[in-house]
Amino acid sequence: MKVLLVFTYGYSLKTWEKSGTLAKELELYNKLSSKYGIKFIFLTYGDATDIEINLNNEDIKVVPIYSFIKKYENKLLNYIYSFLIPFKVYKKFKEIEKINIIKQNQLIGSWVSVILKFLLKKPLYIRTGYDMYKFSIDEKKNSFIVYLYKILTKFSFYYSNFYTVSSKSDIEYLNSELSLEVDKLFLRPNFISTKSFRDYKNRYRNKILCVGRLERQKNYEYLIKELSGTGIELDIVGEGSLEKELIKISKKFNIKLNLLGKIDNHQLEKVYQKYSYFVNPSLFEGCPKTVLEALSNGCVVIASNIPNHSEIITNYENGYIFDLKPNAFKNLILNINEDKNIQVIKNAENTLKSRFLLDSAIEVEYKDYKNLLG
């Protein structure tokens, strides 16, 4: 079996490498090739330097789009010419005709995969880690952008054979708002590969950790205000447009805020393991990988009361949930029973093992491929 993986528009192997996520992104495909003999062609938005990256897997062939198509300085031109990519690929790489399945990674760029589907007459599998249409509304994008995401979602769903989302709430939303049929809409949550769950001892008790972009969605302003008067420090891994504003707010409320910047993914595990508590105060999420990573590294997770968190965290069982109201987080963090946390962590371990481990994701993905091929 041969699968063509079409990267998210604008993403390359270099993108994965620079973000420190290359090894994690490759895990699923390495396991599928080693266990089931599946071969992959990666169609990336990189140049010839993508080919130079050693993937240590002969079953993965890399085809960088900008090694044979001109990349323009103007972003709009690149978008326009992206509609020609499938025809250029089809003409240049005859090996691509031997593929059995096309898999689109994320919604952006799905038009490339849809056109390839018709050129190659092969089934299309679209994988989304979060619903871009819903996010565009939550992020208060302008109405034209929201409309484009709506059209792209409906277009991609209609022409796909298999469309996945990472949370139940995304399925419910797409079904209710866009009337998408459930027969080819499937739940495939994010996953983690960590199996050795870390000891809870010898961790920071007077600091809490957050990981995520410094943007409105992550709702760090609320958390800073809630920590006022608690004596608890706030450490955040991430970068973003609100850096100066958050520093200003932290000074106003006399909070020690430590912005740790961007940390490579392979180094992030060691960071998680220093903290007793990981907090995610987000206003909205998909299937948050940071929550899964924190749980797998032995952190006690405290998360805002939104549907996507509640699909992972059951309050006072495998973590804690708080309402986004004044003093809600403060009252929770100051009254947590430390003795109960050991059981909370054990329950979190069971949650991950039953629903979110890589090994399970591999089996499900392989079955999905087989179902697509009949």
Statement to judge: residues 361 and 350 lie in one domain = no
The whole-number pLDDT of residue 216 equals 95
Cα–chain-centroid distance for residue 339? Answer: 32
**307 vs 313: CA distance, rounded Å:** 10
Question: Does residue 28 sit in the same domain as residue 167?
Answer: yes
**Can you give the CATH number for the domain in which 66 is found?**
3.40.50.2000
Q: pLDDT at residue 62 above 90?
A: yes
Q: Is 244's pLDDT higher than 90?
A: yes
198 falls in which pLDDT band (50, 70, 90)? low
Are residues 321 and 259 part of one domain? yes
308 domain-assigned: yes
Same domain membership, residue 211 and residue 182: no
Best CA proximity match to 303, nearest among 274, 276, 332? 332
What's the mean pLDDT when you consider all of the chain? 93
**Residue 197, in any domain of the structure:** no
Looking at residue 2, its pLDDT comes to 96
Q: Are residues 29 and 145 in the same domain?
A: yes
43 in the Ramachandran plot: left (φ > 0), alpha (ψ -120 to 50) or beta? beta
Asked whether residue 368 is domain-assigned, the answer is: yes
Same-domain check for residues 118 and 214:
no
Please choose, from the candidates 152, 158, 118, 119, the residue with its C-alpha nearest in 3D space to the C-alpha of residue 135: 152
Average pLDDT over residues 332-341: 92
> Of 334, 337, 342, which Cα lies nearest the Cα of 318?
342
Please report, rounded to a whole number, the percentage of residues in the chain having pLDDT higher than 90: 82
341-358 tens-digit pLDDT: 999 999 999 999 999 999
Using a 10 angstrom Cβ sphere, with 0-12 exposed, 13-18 middle and 19 or more buried, the burial of residue 70 is exposed
Distances from the Cα of 203 to the Cαs of 200, 257, 268, in angstroms? 7, 18, 15
pLDDT digits (tens, 9 = 90+) for 277-286: 999 999 999 8
Same domain membership, residue 270 and residue 243: yes
Confidence (pLDDT) at 129: 86
Shared domain for 243 and 338, answered yes or no, is yes
Same-domain pairing of 98 and 241: no
Q: How far apart are CA 184 and CA 193, in angstroms?
A: 27
In the three-class reduction of DSSP (H, G, I as helix; E, B as strand; rest coil), residue 8 is classed as: coil
Residue 195's pLDDT is 59
How confident is the model over 148-171, as a mean pLDDT? 94
Residues 144 and 209 in one domain: no
Q: How many angstroms from the chain centroid is the CA of residue 197?
A: 21
| Assigned domain for 198 exists | no
Cα angle value 365/344/238 (rounded, 5°) = 65
Measured distance CA(22)–CA(52) in Å, rounded: 14
Whether 88 and 175 share a structural domain? yes
Give the span between the Cα atoms of 152 and 137, in whole angstroms.
Answer: 14
Cα torsion angle, 285, 290, 293, 294, sign: negative
Instruction: State the DSSP string of 69-98.
Output: SPPPSSHHHHHHHGGGHHHHHHHH-GGGGG
Residue 305, in any domain of the structure: yes
Please write the tens of the pLDDT for every residue from 66-113: 999 999 999 999 999 999 999 999 888 877 888 999 999 999 999 999
If asked whether residues 280 and 263 sit together in one domain, one would say: yes
**Is residue 139, in this structure, part of any structural domain at all?**
yes
Q: Is residue 222 part of a domain?
A: yes
199 assigned to some structural domain: no
Query: Residue 19 pLDDT more than 80?
Result: yes
Say if residues 65 and 15 touch (Cβ distance below 8 Å). no
State the residue range of the domain holding 296. 204-355
Enter the pTM of the model.
0.91
What integer pLDDT is reported at residue 197 of this predicted model? 59
Structural contact between residues 149 and 132, judged by C-beta atoms closer than 8 angstroms: yes
| CA distances to 11, 26, 59, 245 from 56, in Å | 20, 10, 9, 43
Domain count, the chain: 2
Q: What is the pLDDT of residues 249-275, one digit of tens each?
A: 999 999 999 999 998 887 898 999 999
